[in-house]
Structure 1
Amino acid sequence: MKGNHFEGVIPTSFKQLRGLQILDVSRNNLSGQIPRFLAELPFLQNLNLSFNMFDGEVPDKGVFRNVSGFSIVGNNKLCGGIKALQLPACPTKVLKEKKLTFTPRVIALVATLSGVLLLVCLLAILYQTRRSRQQASSTLAFQNQFLQLSYRELFQATNGFSAANLIGKGGYGSVYKGFLNCSEQIVAVKVLNLHEDGANKSFVAECEALKNIRHRNLVKIITSCSTIDFRGNDFKALVFDFMENGSLESWLHSSLLEQKEPKKLNFVQRLNIAIDVASLWIIFTIIVK
């Protein structure tokens, strides 16, 4: 079929010619891409497509794997194929973006989602604003609720933190008995030993816990003090309502050598104390975390 001035593309009906062995369509005006079904014809051994106007990628399977089995001379717009052809690489195919068609249903869905998103944003802003106001008001109420005491006032209330006023000592500090002139109140002042590791963290944890909880087995906190002493050193203290009758330790471990009439607690009282201490420990752990 060579030299017959054929035009257009090779018809797809050729793929039905499963027994085709030789095809010569050279020297025509055929155009378009070389059909890939030619590479799938099992018995095709000789294919001549020379001097046409084919363009695009040359297949690399079937008859196109053997450079002596086909000819594409005179088709200057071809690319790709096996390396022996030394044709330029085909350009990367870029998929054309499909134009979006906005149906009334799509428009309604987009508008609804946009409205819901806007509503959620507004609710989040209102919630954050209300929460900020509540936090500010609670902070102001906290500041107004507790006394504002200076280092000088605590120093005077405890006679200079004298040993005579010392009523207890713990891992992170010492507790002194004091008398506040401003409120004519007897208090217990817990002075943190900031040289101990974890004292600052303990102070912050106690402040956070005691300002948020009230319990019948907890000594009422009056205020806290975080400032510097007369020497310019950091000073932190917690001021509690003073309770008579000594500490829990003195009741649990009373000694005849310390007092004439030893304090006595029966088994039920001791059990209740253990339960209350465990409950308070759980509360403190939850709040601090």
Structure 2
Amino acid sequence: MIYGIHRTKRRVLDSLLLLLMAGATTAIVAALVWIVVYIVTRGIGTISLRFIFSSERGVGIFPMVVTTLYIVFTSLAIALPIGIATAVYLNEYSDKPRVVQCIRTAIETLAGIPSILYGLFGLLVFARFAGLGQSILAGGLTLSIMILPVIIRTTEESLQTVPRAFREGSLALGTTQWQTIYRVVLPSALPGILTATILGIGRVVGEAAPVLLTVGIARNLPRSIFDSGRTLTIHLYYLTKEALNPEDFQIAFATASVLVVFVLVVNIATKVLTAFFKKHMEH
């Protein structure tokens, strides 16, 4: 009898917890859908090929799109190799707990620094001291430091999920540790690395203060990473700040829609690639 009562209580508690988690999940999905629909429905009427691919002032956002893409690729080109190499060292090579602890403390500290401080650092070190000026390269270097903690931690967690039997089996066949990491461990951890890439892209695209200080606000079409420019996020900020009539807000919503669609496309493409690599590895 008592066992039956306890069993009933556990079932009720499990049902309540399941209902709570389902409600939280529904709220998150509903918030995302509401934000996307709200922005896109108010900006879709202004979006056109001319709006996206024109450089005409007050009409097109093509220079901002190009600057954003430059910033994303520059930041990832710098941060991904360093972040993945650091995660591999921490998880596969280092046998000194104190050294690992010091490195992880440094990574956690980097993750907690406000973005405006990164912007000041990039402005003083890369833009002025290194002589890069306000440029895409200065912004990419600054943002690469910002996204390093995300890439390192996510990649390290992904490496930890690879079964030890994979490593032991590879080493038993006579391969070196590096060959095991390169041919067995990293391919198995690739979905996690792609997740780190998504998070890094999202952080780069969404930042404003560091980009404003290191890249600038010029509306020109950048020809290289040594030019200044204006990202979509900074452009959206100035559009809303200077908006005087409904037409201005319409352009701002259209720019926000492009930004949201860009992030969604990156996420969906990465998920597709992750599923493809998982299927490929299973076969």
TM-score using structure 1 length: 0.25
TM-score using structure 2 length: 0.25
With CA pairs under 8 Å and 6+ residues apart, which has the higher RCO, 1 or 2?
2
Larger radius of gyration: 1
